[in-house]
Chain A
């Protein structure tokens, strides 16, 4: 039962500094696919066990998120943690939002918000797009890397004109951690960091069932 003031963390994020220069393209090019266990997806009426990355490659239909949400999520995920879109971030979130809230494996459940969490995600993604339009008159996914970076830094600080939806720093905190989960929260993610996984019981071949 140890801690962490998640809301305090969200407040801390508001104090985030600028200067986040990074080579987003480099990370996307390198790719981080294959970093997650298998989930049960419905493909052509049949259950298939795929990683979120495989589900993305196979074009598995989304059950809760719409195409516009996914476009924003992919783009935002790759700013928050480059490579997380290819790691299947959108499919991971969609899969978890489509199941019973009590079984959710998303970190948002720790943050004092009441389920279901779909409106939180959809509201945050819509807020991201409205802020991009107001500041740059473009969809978020079409922003130049520096502009996308600037917008996300402002999201973290809560200083985002045009935003509507959940508190921007909280949305930043949640999405950022989802991206980390998709990328590093799995046996292969551990391996990429040279951290031994050492499972007592390895994550099963199906998630969320």
Chain B
């Protein structure tokens, strides 16, 4: 089985809504566990040949489903930060795969801020190890002195190009360390997949399978285990039985407008951070009048993003900024301890991801970094920067706030489902953290010798929370395996489960949490999904 245009007539063991990082991984693991799995993807089919090396074509991989209404001082930038089509957001993700730290799981216990996870780092560590072994991660665990305990990486680290060397000089001058950035990108042939050629087109999707995205890793595994994926099929409701305690399937609308109900023993929502709560809220019924899993008004709450502290410089030397991975070459986590910058009113963690591969145009391109320039000044800047441009990004923790949430708007999409409204205002301590990061970043780039240094305004990256996991229904929507407290055979997957964001990119943790969930679901299948 593989891609199909035909929906099954009979019940399947599991329906997985969404084919991104979480959905494809959970589908593969359940199918390999002998379950009959149907993956439903709202967007179009994608293949490696769709990953055209063009910043303009890359925009076709981004969200193109029902519009999301964004409100608040710090919009989540949903279209840019979400994907559409087979592979989901992970089809264009940059594969920066650091681990969360131990303190990220105990934020409230240790610091009386935010929420605690219902699982510890120690419990999750074996799943990080397993995922990095299966998907392939490059790095140098010894040089990552900040890294929590775990197995060494299965591949040697990524190469460092002149941009990385130039910025590393600045870190050394201010007494800070750098290490190779852990990337789920092949530095050697791995599990039959080719190594990267470091041409910096990750944002447009990797067509050679060097980057561990769903098209390269988990969907082939799912297909090999007889899972079926039907694209262009939008789930509009999750159905429950009369008692409201069990999910029975989903309602879908196909591309031609045909409506169907599909049955399954287990329903997994892996439709990303906004669509998951939207679906739960839109599936309200007489037993769940405020939405599925929403008996305590928690569905949609605690939406978080990282604030990106982007600092740029133009060096006199040639930096070959176009070489490498889009996610970067090096990492520094000296500012990971939560109290590092408290004297500035800041709280939380950040890491520097250093020396991202850059293109001349696009939102993360050279031109947009100086959005104030136009005319001859812009041409002159482009010419100057095209020799010595360099950049790095602080991934700044966004503290969870209950009022940052997904709700349903009055306006509906073409299928009659209410649109999602997302309100997001970054916590003041997180804004202060961003300010501290760009101040430090500019000092580092200046120390490296760049005569021209500046920073971008704060921007949102990585969308998390909204359907947080926890120990009880009083403080969370789901348990540590993603099962709704109210409906145990309705499972959530993806970064929406995160109770805190930490200061690292989320996809590796998404995979670790998903692998742990799959193991639990298979072990207790008869109890959960029969």
Contact = CB atoms under 8 A, between A and B. Distances in A.
Nearest to A83: B379
A5 B377 contact: no
B151 interface: no
Contacts of A1: 81-82, 89, 92-94, 461-462, 505, 507
Interface string B156-175: 00000000000000000000
Most buried by B among A4, A16, A107: A4
Contacts of B84: 102
Nearest to A78: B375
Interface stretch (A18-26, A118-126, A127-135): A18-26
B93 to A, nearest CB: 5
Interface stretch (B3-11, B30-38, B60-68, B138-146): B60-68
Contacts of B367: 177, 180, 184
A95 B169 CA distance: 46
A62 interface: no
Interface string B55-89: 11101101010010010001101111110100001
B359 to A, nearest CB: 8
A35 to B, nearest CB: 11
Nearest to B82: A1
B245 interface: no
B363 interface: yes
Interface string B491-502: 000000000000
Contact of A194 (B197, B199, B386): B386
Interface in A66-121: 79-82, 101-107, 109-112, 114-115
A12 B371 contact: yes
Contacts of B379: 27, 81-82
B111 interface: no
B296 interface: no
A200 B64 CA distance: 24
A107 B362 CA distance: 7
A22 to B, nearest CB: 3
Given A1-B81, A189-B360, A203 B374 contact: no
Contact of A195 (B54, B59, B360, B364): B360
A4 B368 contact: yes
Given A81-B378, A82-B375, A112-B75, A200 B310 contact: no
A200 B322 contact: no
Interface in B190-207: 197, 199-201, 206-207
B375 A149 contact: yes
Nearest to B90: A1
A180 B77 CA distance: 21
* Interface of chain A: mostly helix, strand, loop or mixed: loop
B461 A13 contact: no
Given A3-B77, A9-B368, A20 B375 contact: yes
B449 interface: no
A2 B376 contact: no
Interface string B199-228: 111000011100000000000000000000
Nearest to B386: A193
Interface stretch (B45-53, B127-135, B332-340, B481-489): B45-53
Nearest to A14: B372
B213 to A, nearest CB: 12
B393 interface: yes
Contacts of A197: 53
Interface in B385-444: 386-387, 393
A2 B197 CA distance: 21
Contact of B459 (A8, A79, A193): A8
B458 A8 contact: yes
Contacts of B295: none
Contacts of A207: 56
B74 A5 contact: yes
Contacts of B371: 9-10, 12-13, 173, 176
A59 interface: no
A3 B308 contact: yes
B199 A5 contact: no
A26 B365 CA distance: 25
Contact of A180 (B49, B59, B92, B361): B361
Contact of A199 (B53, B92, B94, B377): B53
A128 to B, nearest CB: 14
B382 interface: yes
B105 to A, nearest CB: 22
A9 B361 contact: no
B322 A198 contact: yes
Contacts of A152: 374-375
A46 interface: no
A22 B377 contact: yes
Contact of B79 (A23, A24, A109, A204): A109
B390 to A, nearest CB: 14
Contacts of A193: 360, 382-383, 386
A135 to B, nearest CB: 18
24 contacts: A1-B507, A2-B327, A3-B364, A4-B77, A5-B457, A7-B75, A20-B375, A23-B376, A24-B376, A80-B374, A81-B379, A105-B59, A110-B77, A111-B79, A112-B70, A180-B378, A184-B382, A185-B362, A198-B199, A200-B53, A201-B52, A201-B53, A203-B54, A207-B56
Given A5-B74, A111-B79, 14 more contacts: A5-B75, A12-B457, A20-B376, A22-B376, A107-B363, A109-B64, A110-B363, A177-B367, A185-B55, A185-B362, A200-B53, A200-B197, A202-B52, A204-B52
